[in-house]
């Protein structure tokens, strides 16, 4: 039996007339955990609009809506009932969150400070728009005891997340393209010391070249942390970040495991330097192959030059040199570049050198911007590598499913392949 009560930690509920909106199991949850959205007190078969709205750390407003018909008892359960229209159609328990779109086009959801939870307002409306009930969901990025410390020393500009407890913990270097704290903070919740250092950060490397030494410096800083017990580090990367991650694995000792999401097998956009020497040339985009769209964003998928062409061989990353474990993830609907083809080429290269230190996963229908689950999916935004707004691709339902599966896969992969030695930890102390 449903009874009105004050919002509580064990499931929030708010009354407007006789309509009750519930978020289960709690109005507070971790960002990467699902919730169950239910409504009661409606008229039998009443049609209502369900809405969700949030504002990210950059002030960008995201929202979604879906139409539902109550059952004979006047109830709606997003885990059971299909959306009849709106931002998505069909049974999507977390559809209101994942289908959110920015009110300003071509904006990506950004969490630039993980200390503050993401606040999402859910509401129920009559077809005419009148508000019937609303409830706020606080989605936490840091569990109790996880610490966040900005790091700004030498060539390192990033944020260090450390789990509670004595450790020792395995270490992960997170390489997002731009500053974002959702992935590293959520990974720290799982028992990893994580240093996140964006490829494009405020220290602003010369846009004409990239220096691997800066990221080696970040690796060394991470390994020296008192709670870190792993011999080497793991690397978490996607897109241009994967360029750097793969190059670290190939040229710098100490990378034990690397996750490469939608990676290219060659170094793109800017030449790569190490110890003041160029080690990889750059694979470039042919702007004449950019395809404009009515939205104002472009499609660049077929514009990147062929990395296997003779003139581009100097950009290929010699991943066979790496003494590491690889997890390659690629998608079918990547509009940034052909990540599946590049993944296949890297597998061929490793096999040619007698290597079996890799595993792959492929997601039909998903797009380039795979993130931890339950954030608004980003179909288009500014691409810092080409300096233009681009389409990233991804069919929403397939993309959501891919993010849920991959996030669990990443955690299992790092737990399997990152060693953690308590005696090494004691030696540091």
pLDDT tens figures, 356-413: 999 999 999 999 999 999 999 999 999 988 889 999 999 989 999 999 999 999 999 9
Report, as an integer, the average pLDDT of 245-254. 97
Each residue of 113-159: pLDDT tens digit?
999 999 999 999 998 899 999 999 999 999 999 999 999 999 999 99
| Intrachain domains 12-140 and 147-428 with the same fold | no
> Is the whole model's pTM more than 0.85, yes or no?
yes
Active-site residue identified among 29, 239, 260, 420: 239
147-428 to CATH, choices 3.40.50.11740, 3.40.50.720, 3.40.50.1820, 3.30.565.10: 3.40.50.1820
Q: What is the C-alpha separation between 408 and 373, in angstroms, rounded?
A: 10
Residue 9 has a pLDDT of: 41
**Of 206 and 301, the one with more pLDDT:** 301
In the set 325, 334, 377, 417, the catalytic residue is 334
Instruction: Verify whether residue 106 is a known catalytic residue.
Output: no
Hey, what are 158's tokens? 């990033």
Annotation marks residue 368 as catalytic: yes
pLDDT given at position 8: 39
Catalytic-labelled residue, pool 214, 325, 368, 417:
368
Sorted by sequence, the CB contacts under 8 Å of residue 1 that are 6+ apart come out as none
Topology given in CATH for the domain delimited by 12-140: Immunoglobulin-like (2.60.40)
Written as six digits, the tokens of 240 are: 């241009």
pLDDT tens digits along 250-286:
999 999 999 999 999 999 999 999 999 999 999 999 9
Please report the pLDDT score of residue 159 as a whole number: 97
The yes-or-no answer on residue 334 being catalytic is yes
The answer to whether residue 33 scores a pLDDT higher than 70 is yes
Residue extents of the structural domains in the chain? 12-140, 147-428
């Amino acid at each position: 039996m449903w009874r009105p009560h004050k919002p509580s930690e064990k499931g929030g509920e708010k009354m407007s007339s006789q309509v009750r909106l519930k978020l289960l199991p709690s109005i507070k949850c971790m960002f990467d955990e699902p919730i169950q959205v239910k409504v009661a007190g409606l008229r039998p078969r009443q049609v209502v609009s369900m809405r969700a709205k949030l504002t990210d750390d950059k002030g960008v407003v995201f929202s979604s809506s879906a139409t539902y018909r109550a059952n004979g008892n006047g109830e709606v359960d997003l885990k059971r009932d299909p959306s009849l229209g709106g931002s998505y159609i069909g049974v999507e328990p977390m559809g209101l969150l994942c289908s959110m779109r920015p009110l300003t086009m071509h904006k990506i959801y950004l969490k630039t400070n993980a200390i503050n939870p993401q606040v999402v307002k859910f509401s129920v409306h009559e077809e005419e728009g009148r508000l019937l009930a609303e409830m706020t969901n606080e989605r936490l990025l840091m569990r109790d005891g996880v610490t966040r410390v900005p790091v700004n020393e030498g060539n390192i500009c990033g944020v260090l997340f450390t789990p509670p407890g004595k450790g020792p913990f395995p270490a992960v270097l997170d390489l997002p393209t731009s500053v974002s704290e959702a992935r590293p903070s959520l990974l720290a919740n799982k028992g990893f010391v994580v240093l996140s250092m964006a490829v494009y950060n405020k220290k602003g490397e010369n846009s004409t070249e990239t220096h691997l030494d800066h990221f080696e410096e970040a690796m060394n800083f991470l390994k020296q942390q008192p709670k870190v017990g792993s011999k080497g580090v793991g690397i978490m990367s996607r897109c241009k970040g994967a360029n750097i991650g793969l190059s670290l694995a190939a040229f710098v000792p100490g990378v034990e495991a690397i996750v490469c999401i939608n990676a290219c097998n060659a170094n793109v956009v800017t030449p790569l330097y190490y110890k003041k020497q160029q080690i990889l040339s750059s694979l470039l985009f042919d702007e004449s192959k950019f395809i404009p769209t009515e939205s104002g964003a472009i499609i660049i998928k077929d514009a990147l030059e062929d990395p296997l062409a003779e003139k581009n061989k100097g950009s290929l990353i010699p991943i066979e040199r790496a003494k590491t474990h690889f997890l390659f993830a690629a998608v079918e609907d990547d509009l940034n570049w052909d990540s599946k083809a590049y993944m296949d080429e890297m597998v061929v290269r490793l096999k040619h050198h007698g290597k079996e230190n890799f595993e792959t996963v492929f997601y039909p229908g998903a797009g380039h911007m795979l993130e931890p689950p339950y954030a608004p999916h980003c179909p288009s935004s500014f691409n810092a590598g080409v300096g233009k707004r681009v389409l990233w691709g991804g069919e929403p339902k397939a993309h959501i499913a891919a993010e849920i599966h991959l996030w669990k896969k990443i955690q299992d992969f790092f737990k399997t392949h990152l060693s953690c030695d308590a005696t090494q930890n004691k030696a540091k102390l």
